[in-house]
A and B are shown apart, each in its own frame.
Chain A
Amino acid sequence: MAPSTGTLHLAAAIDGTGQYTAPYYVELARLAERGTLDFVTLDDSFGPPGEGQGRPDALSVLARVAPATERVGLVPTVTTTHTEPFHVSSAVATLDWVSRGRAGWTVGVSTTEAEARLVGRRPAAPAGELWAEAEEVADVVARLWDSWEDDAEIRDTATGRFIDRDKLHYVDFEGRHFRVRGPSIVPRPPQGHPVVAVDATDPVTWDTAARHATVAFVRATTPDAAGRIRDELRGRAASFGRERGALTVLAAVTVDLADGEYAAGLATGDAPLTATAAGPPLYRGGPVDLADLIAGWHTAGAVDGFHITPAAPPGDLERFVNGTVALLQHRGLFRTFYPGATLRDHLGLPRPANRYALARETAQ
């Protein structure tokens, strides 16, 4: 592992079981924005997480949050299994329009028979098959985002033409799982391509992440383990013809900072993170030690940053922002303001060129 020289990236989950009202999510997103975090995520699944529990549609929630925030990135999970790729592309592009360039999506799949029965179109399939389909969805979604070149709208009064049809493109996507003709009905979103995230916990997702993701979430309890997964992902990305740095790898951690100011708890010692059966490793301790851990992993070059899930929001997110983030900023390890307006700006990513415009330029 090479020592890191890159910028530290921080993101937070703002999930809440059984939470349906907008103020709950707005408050958490604003907290994250106060901490100049790159983005917030909101998990989703068609089915309720358990009997008697539920949640609203994640992309809708973050659309509701968008006008109530100014800078923080908004990254909902959107499943690719029981949805229409054309709708997914439109919805994420629209989140980018309503947030003025702050949208992303975490590519999800629906693996359970219970979810399949909610839709009734086909039975559940093995994870490998679903991720292969998710790759096709991510591919066609990006093509649809490009199906309008940036200057397709011309409003030429002399000829009466509103659009230049030569700058609109049929994607004519033929995959193993579906076909989409295109073009999109939504013009190219402000970021060109909203940010694509993949939870790369399970190796079955690694090819999808390496091919399509701009952000990958990984689970590890030590910097060495995290660094190995990052190398693996970046190696695969390179083998698909991408630049190694095109993939931002964040370590996922659940943080429980309750009473952390007073009790160092488990945070001292060699293993500040404990693996959990389901979900990311758990950090339990004080915000100062957490800042040390984050700084340590980052300077060791193990990860590009962290995606934290507050164990008990909003308290743990508040302590994270006011304690951990403030300290990292004080030490000059994390930015104190947003230098740009879009999520791509926060992540230090360029606005991608349009593949169709590029193809025409190279043809000329």
Chain B
Amino acid sequence: MNDSSGSGKQIHLAAHFPGVNNTTVWAGPPAGPTTTPGRCASRNPSLGSQIDFSSFEHLARTAERGLFDFFFLAEGLRLREHNGRIHDLDVVGRPESLTVLTALAAVTERIGLAATVNATFNEPYELARRLASLDHLSGGRAAWNVVTSSDAFTGENFRRGGYLDRADRYTRAAEFVATARELWDSGTPDGTPGPFVHSGEHFGIEGWFGVAPAPQGHPVVIQAGDSDEGREFAASAADVIFTRHGTLEAGRVFYTDVKRRLAAYGRDPDDLKIMPGVSFVLGDTAAEAQERAAEIRRQQVSPQTALLTLEQIWGVDLSGYDPEGPLPDIDPDPDSQRVQGRVRHADPLAVAAKWRALSEEKGLSIRQTVIEATGRQSFIGTPEAVAAEMAAFVRSDAADGFILVPHLTPGGLDDFVDRVVPLLQERGVFRTGYTGRTLRDHLGLRHPGGRSARSARGSAPDLDGRRTGIGRTDGT
């Protein structure tokens, strides 16, 4: 085992609320505000509410019972469209993250509370203020997942108008985070707000930051985004990366690449935790787990969803095709604007070729191909096998931990916490109690100093300088 960090390397765990997406399994009417005691949630495919506060409370408390580092909420600011109409197959409708998380601070004590908030459709002063408020009201548990989607489609809901060029989104995000940190640092040592001046390419602001220095100094910053610019931004400014590299090989390559970038910013490898989003399926035997995983995939990819997924790649109308039949033999239209509100595949022709090869090799129908090609069930097996695999994953430096993405709301984490967490603890790779109060404590991150400490670390990212000469690698 390539155990570069020593045998004591610990797993960090976070919980992704399975609210809005095509992977949350739903069937029939909502289960109601509370889950029935004694009923094993993962055996019951009927979904709770993705909007009632009790759902959030249940999952956050379960994660806290499992001693997780943080509870995580994603964000979407416009309903997806397909063929110019609102996409109606996925679970949609969610409350606003920071408000939900601040309410969750009332019903939890230790777990970190992470909100995904776009850096394009917000302004530093307002967002820094809301994040500092969450940090105060939760006693130091706030985190911000900085996302950078810039599309004009989403922009139609905002004053700004969504005109930010793709190339500008990370320079704005980097300046946004740097500015927020200037505001958070502007307080005086006696705990009262202080003056600030910021003058940059995207923001020119000054005044008094209206919130006293927050318990964590800087709420934890998470980055999700995989391009070269995204990785560079994370290396310069983030405390955690939320990645999609959920296989051991891809994880190792990503891990090495990102950790290598930290030195240029005067940071240690430990200053940035890499946490892929992973799903899991448990069973009493390996065969049972596999069978259940296959059943979940069938529920996640209905015949209707399979056809629409294919249309997203082909960019043309495929409604005449039979989802249980073979893949279409026509070529995709790479310039189609058919899908709105979701990251497009970088190269539809290449993706289509890959899928076609897969389908021909294994003799798969459209639906089977989609199930096979889009599956992200990272850990499938008995609790013992999953615990062992996760431990090996982290100890061989493919990740520092995981953001678990259950497929059920709100009971999707119950089994994991009851059955896998104790095994991780037995192996000595996961904590048996919270040792600190703040999210920084859980993640083993340093408390940021005041102005002087910050400038000594040289935290201002130099994205433009680094971008020149580096070719674009687009992972999506």
Chain A residues at the B interface, C-beta cutoff of 8 Å? 18, 20-22, 26, 45-48, 51-57, 59-61, 63-68, 82-87, 90-91, 93-95, 97-100, 114-115, 117-121, 148, 152-153, 155, 157, 159-165, 168, 178-183, 185-187
Contacts and interface: CB of A to CB of B under 8 A. Distances in A.
Contact of A187 (B51, B105, B134, B138): B51
Given A46-B126, A54-B210, A120 B203 contact: yes
20 contacts: A21-B136, A54-B208, A56-B129, A56-B132, A56-B137, A57-B133, A59-B99, A61-B133, A63-B102, A66-B106, A91-B98, A98-B99, A98-B100, A118-B207, A120-B204, A148-B93, A161-B88, A168-B86, A178-B159, A186-B51
B99 A165 contact: no
A129 to B, nearest CB: 15
A155 B106 contact: no
B76 A185 contact: yes
Contacts of B476: none
A20 B187 CA distance: 14
Given A53-B192, A54-B211, A165-B86, A118 B137 contact: no
B171 interface: no
Given A67-B57, A99-B103, A164-B88, 16 more contacts: A21-B136, A48-B210, A54-B209, A54-B210, A56-B129, A57-B133, A59-B99, A60-B98, A61-B137, A64-B106, A114-B207, A119-B205, A157-B27, A162-B91, A187-B51, A187-B93
Contact of A181 (B47, B132, B156, B212): B156
Contacts of A93: 95-96
Interface stretch (B77-85, B260-268, B394-402, B457-465): B77-85
A124 to B, nearest CB: 12
Contacts of A68: 106
Interface string B91-120: 111111011101111110000000000000
A66 B272 CA distance: 34
A160 B206 CA distance: 52
A21 B134 CA distance: 10
Most chain A beta carbons < 10 A, residue from B105, B192, B212: B212
B297 to A, nearest CB: 15
A155 B96 contact: no
B90 interface: yes
Interface string B141-165: 0000000000000001111000000
Nearest to B26: A155
Contacts of B347: none
Given A53-B193, A93-B95, A117 B27 contact: no
Nearest to B90: A162
Nearest to B33: A100
B211 A64 contact: no
Contacts of B106: 22, 26, 64-68
Contacts of B30: 155
Most chain A beta carbons < 10 A, residue from B93, B132, B138, B209: B93
B158 A94 contact: no
B130 interface: yes
B95 A94 contact: yes
Given A22-B137, A56-B211, A95 B192 contact: no
Contact of A168 (B79, B121, B130, B209): B79
A117 B305 CA distance: 48
Contacts of B159: 84-85, 178
Contacts of B157: 84, 86, 180-182
B156 A119 contact: no
Contacts of A100: 53
Nearest to A177: B159
B93 A186 contact: yes
Interface string B165-208: 00000000000000000000000100011000000000111111
Given A63-B99, A67-B103, A114-B207, A46 B79 contact: no
B18 to A, nearest CB: 14
Most chain A beta carbons < 10 A, residue from B78, B92, B122, B210: B210
A168 B302 CA distance: 23
A94 B96 contact: yes
A186 B203 CA distance: 29
Contacts of A95: 99
A64 B102 contact: yes
B77 to A, nearest CB: 6
B403 to A, nearest CB: 21
Contacts of A114: 207-208
A178 B104 CA distance: 33
Contacts of B269: none
Given A22-B106, A46-B129, A82-B126, A185 B205 contact: no
Most chain A beta carbons < 10 A, residue from B102, B159, B192, B206: B102
